[in-house]
Amino acid sequence: MPEGDSVWKLARRLDRQLVGHTVDRSDFRTPALATRDLSGREVIGHDTHGKHLLTRLSGAAGSPPATLHSHLRMDGSWSTLAPGKRLPGKLQPHVRLVWSLDDGRTVHGIRLHDLALVPTDREADLVGHLGPDPLRDDWDAEEAVRRLLAAPTTPLVTALLDQRSLAGLGNLWANELAFLSGVSPWTPVGEVDVPHLVERAATMLRHSAHVPGAYQVTTGSPVKGDDHWITGRQRQGCRRCGGPVSVQAEVPGDSANRRTWWCRSCQPGPGPEARVGDGPGIRRGAGAGRPRPPTRSSTGRR
């Protein structure tokens, strides 16, 4: 699942593959950037903020250093091919950028979303609305706690998925953190020990990103099918008590209400009838009217 740790690991891979190389030719295949040319720019490095990837490039021809912003969502990817290699034909319609490098390799951005190119000193225009990210050097746990508690009646999973409060947690982490907190996913976040929740979230995300073999393992066991407590275990049952795992379908078009797994025995509290948001059949209130933490941007990007 592409979450903050996924994008962080991608950034490190792209650093190893691209940093120090110059773009000989660039081809953007998205209308907003179709006329932009990055030829002659050197790849300086990659940074992440939550699920957002920032590719930094040097200045060129009197232009200042630039940053390419991209978001993977559920299906995006980057591919670097050796000289003479070609991308499979079935992927060609989904290519959004092609770079030819100074060593003959080719870089493809496939199904990338929210592509934007800005001067590097204006990155905040694109990611300034995001909350603290445990994988960044400027991580601020106290600020994450403050933002999560700004609307204490918001259901726990909805609060954790809101990238404006704590950036980098996706559906897997939200479900597993609710389980490890011992409460229903729809428990108001104000009824949870939020400082402990934030500390646990940061520890798990960092462990997943930095420790070999620990990527998105929440139980300590990397064995497939045994690596999560409840997520995806509707057939196997709860890993702790062995009881049934319930599943609530996502609300289409509502990022606050993704597919949710929980164990009714291990996670007492309100059920999915307590969901809030803007999707069909979802009551408004609590999180739907949630006051937003102060931000530097109102782009609404998650």
Neighbouring-strand partners of residue 262: 246
Our answer to whether residue 224 is catalytic in this structure is no
Contact 176, 170 (CB under 8 A): no
Our answer to whether residue 90 is catalytic in this structure is no
According to DSSP, residue 114 is labeled: E
- What is each CA distance from 254 to 77, 154, 232, in whole angstroms? 23, 15, 20
According to DSSP, residue 187 is labeled: S
* Whole-number CA gyration radius for the chain: 21
Residue 109 phi, psi (nearest 5): -105, 115
Our answer to whether residue 273 is catalytic in this structure is no
Neighbouring-strand partners of residue 69: 54, 116
How many C-beta neighbours within 10 Å does residue 66 have? Answer: 20
Choose the catalytic residue: 3, 132, 155, 185. 3
AA identity, residue 221 = S
Our answer to whether residue 51 is catalytic in this structure is yes
AA identity, residue 77 = S
Choose the catalytic residue: 41, 51, 164, 302. 51
Choose the catalytic residue: 2, 195, 244, 270. 2
Contact 110, 76 (CB under 8 A): yes
Contacts of 55 (CB under 8 A, 6+ apart): 14, 43, 46, 67, 68, 69, 70
Choose the catalytic residue: 56, 258, 275, 302. 258
Active-site amino acid positions: 2-3, 51, 258
